[in-house]
Structure 1
Amino acid sequence: MKSKNKMKKFTPYFYILPTFIILIIVIVIPIIYVIIQSFYSTFANENIFVGFRNYQIAFEDELLFIALKNNIKLFLCVPILTVLSLAIASVLYNKIKGWRFYRSVIFIPYILAIPVVGIVFSYLLQYNGVINSILRGIGFSDLAMDWLGSPDLAFPSVAVVIMWKQIGFGVVLFLARMMSIDRSLYESADVDGATWFQKFLHITIPQTKSIIEFYIIITLIEMLSWVFNFIYVMTAGGPGNKTLVLEYLIYKKAFGGGDFNIAMAISVILLLIASVLIIIHQIVMRKEE
């Protein structure tokens, strides 16, 4: 009888064991390998332990700080995305005519493949692309810019494309939470003569606080370690490294004629930054619980 109870106790772990094995092989072991190799350097096909030399070289490279600065700039997209997503979700929550159609249209960009989005917008935003052709055609030639080729416009252009693709996730996430809010709160506010903005500020935001915190942390992580495909397809880090990010710098170091071990060192730096954000996320979630 006792043996049967013990078997029942351990049965759930047997079911999830294959998943854990796959995670260890695919994720944990490669991460450990990268961390170890970041302390080595390859000379004549021989691995030699060099300690923190790779990290020292990485921090002496100006490109690391340019890439990190650009990733931090992308963090500024997060509050914009959060406010826009909340506002749009709040409008759809009021079930305006055709709200289901609008919800689907807003969410479609999020499920599109990033390389597809990047290629399409590359054609749209190039100097002789569709957008500039339309502007010239309607008599606004002065507004036709080299959106991806200009050092001043390339990064904002890529950031706008990223926000356009990402906003659908926030809208659907917040809308799902709003659907579970007690309608009587809004009805009471209507009786008191509250405006839409007052209801948004004093009911919607407090009731979706936990989801807002979750969305902010997740989006920060994505802006740090999810934008490689956009940069690779649209600008390749240019012009003049104006759109260089940490992920693309790792790619350049590893496969663009740099040092593979230095690329691993930068990967560990990126992993540490992402880990800090993940820890913050866990602290926030535990606090909410």
Structure 2
Amino acid sequence: MPSGGSPSSVRPAVVGPGAEEAVAEAPARRPARSSPRRSRRGSRAERLAPFVLVAPAVLIIVALRLWPLALGVNFSFTGDGDRNGTSVGLDNYLTLFGDPLFRTALRNVGLLVLLLPVAVAIPGLLATFIYLRVPGHRIYRGVYFFPAVLSPVIVGAIFNLLLAYDGPVNAVLGVVGLGPVDWLGDPDVAIFAVVGVHVWATFGMALVVFLAGFSTLDRSLLDAARVDGASLPQTVWHVIVPGLTRTIQFVFVTTMIGMLTSMFGLLYVMTNGGPEASTYLPEYYIWVQQGQFNQPALASAASTALFLIMLVVGLAQVAVLRRAGREG
């Protein structure tokens, strides 16, 4: 052994017999394990991360949507005028459903529900034609969407001129011998005229949603239907409708919400609730009670009733469409 060297620094130059077996039998070094405490912290952070990311959006919804909604519902149980701020229980709701104007508005809501399939079928069929690339489909896409960017006031003013008793629409009807129609002055016709104008002005957005839904449709199914000799109605009913079930549900709900909450501008410009209050809808009734009669509590009760109507109608539509999709 050299002087100054430590025994531990000297390695044997000769390996004796059996040393290789000893080395082979030595236990293999295991990888270092993370401590259980650290792994628990990591899993807890992973579980909390989605909630942290969603928290700002939830706070905004609660502050700007749910909290004002709760205040409005609470305000609907208070009085107006001399009883301002005092609790009146269900008096506002009893007054609401006893008012003939509000009952007319509810009857018109039922009419909108009946007309809803037509309002959804129109953009759906037009989107189908555009998706199948009919001649001029690129131009139609822009033309159909253009009314959606117009103000309801502008649309109402335009159709006031077109649907006037001595307007161009009645002039065309007179040429073909159908006679003039009092589109905005006949109580039995006015609500259909306003709804028709609303559908014309807003179906462009539903058209865009349908086109987005078509992008998820399997093109091979359409090719197979074409090879099998399926007609266009058969292709629509057996291929397109089942493939766009979720899109149709979304368009149904959003179109109904739009009919119940976005027709005030047209009603105000075209009929002002008339003739004979035949075009009243809940949102117009709310504005009349708040803006003309200064009854905010009664208007809050009407707003709460409108919210419940939209909730019930929307859930019923989704349930019916899901059942129809399963049966299909």
Displacement, 1:244? 0.5
Q: Which moved more, 1:59-68 or 1:190-199?
A: 190-199
Cα 1:12–1:281 shift into 2, 3 Å: farther
Please give the TM-score of this superposition, normalised by the length of structure 2. Answer: 0.76
Distance in structure 1 (CA, Å) of the matches to 2:267 and 2:146: 21
Displacement, 1:86? 2.4
Distance in structure 2 (CA, Å) of the matches to 1:11 and 1:26: 24
Q: 1:34 aligns with which of 61, 69, 72?
A: 72
Matched AA of 1:114: P
State whether structure 2 residue 144 is matched by structure 1 residue 106. Answer: yes
State whether structure 2 residue 89 is matched by structure 1 residue 51. Answer: yes
CA contact (8 A) 1:93 1:179 kept: no
Displacement, 1:239? 0.5
State whether structure 2 residue 296 is matched by structure 1 residue 260. Answer: yes
The match for 2:109 is 71
CA contact (8 A) 1:81 1:170 kept: no
The match for 1:81 is 119
Q: What secondary structure, in the 3-state scheme, does the structure 2 residue paired with 1:146 have?
A: coil
Distance in structure 1 (CA, Å) of the matches to 2:228 and 2:62: 57
Cα 1:190–1:3 shift into 2, 3 Å: closer
Please give the TM-score of this superposition, normalised by the length of structure 1. Answer: 0.86
Displacement, 1:216? 1.4
Distance in structure 2 (CA, Å) of the matches to 1:14 and 1:91: 45
State whether structure 2 residue 229 is matched by structure 1 residue 193. Answer: yes
Cα 1:45–1:84 shift into 2, 3 Å: closer
The match for 2:98 is 60
Matched AA of 1:55: Y
Q: What secondary structure, in the 3-state scheme, does the structure 2 residue paired with 1:47 have?
A: coil
Displacement, 1:145? 2.9
State whether structure 2 residue 165 is matched by structure 1 residue 127. Answer: yes
Q: What secondary structure, in the 3-state scheme, does the structure 2 residue paired with 1:147 have?
A: coil
Q: What secondary structure, in the 3-state scheme, does the structure 2 residue paired with 1:238 have?
A: coil
CA contact (8 A) 2:81 2:295 kept: no
Q: Which moved more, 1:112-121 or 1:122-131?
A: 122-131
The answer for unaligned runs of 5 or more in structure 1 is none
Displacement, 1:227? 1.9
Which digits, 9 at most, give the CA deviation of each residue in 1:213-250, with x for residues without a partner? 22112222222222222212211110001100111011
Distance in structure 1 (CA, Å) of the matches to 2:222 and 2:52: 48
Q: What secondary structure, in the 3-state scheme, does the structure 1 residue paired with 2:86 have?
A: strand
Alignment map for 1:209-224 (pairs within 5 Å): 209-224=245-260
Computing the radius of gyration over CA atoms, which structure comes out larger, 1 or 2? 2
Distance in structure 2 (CA, Å) of the matches to 1:211 and 1:254: 36
CA contact (8 A) 2:153 2:266 kept: yes
State whether structure 2 residue 309 is matched by structure 1 residue 273. Answer: yes
Alignment map for 1:168-187 (pairs within 5 Å): 168-187=204-223
Displacement, 1:185? 1.6
Displacement, 1:111? 2.7
The answer for unaligned runs of 5 or more in structure 2 is 1-37
Distance in structure 1 (CA, Å) of the matches to 2:179 and 2:300: 43
Cα 1:6–1:86 shift into 2, 3 Å: same
Q: Percent identity?
A: 32
CA contact (8 A) 1:77 1:163 kept: no
Cα 1:196–1:144 shift into 2, 3 Å: same
Q: What secondary structure, in the 3-state scheme, does the structure 2 residue paired with 1:48 have?
A: coil
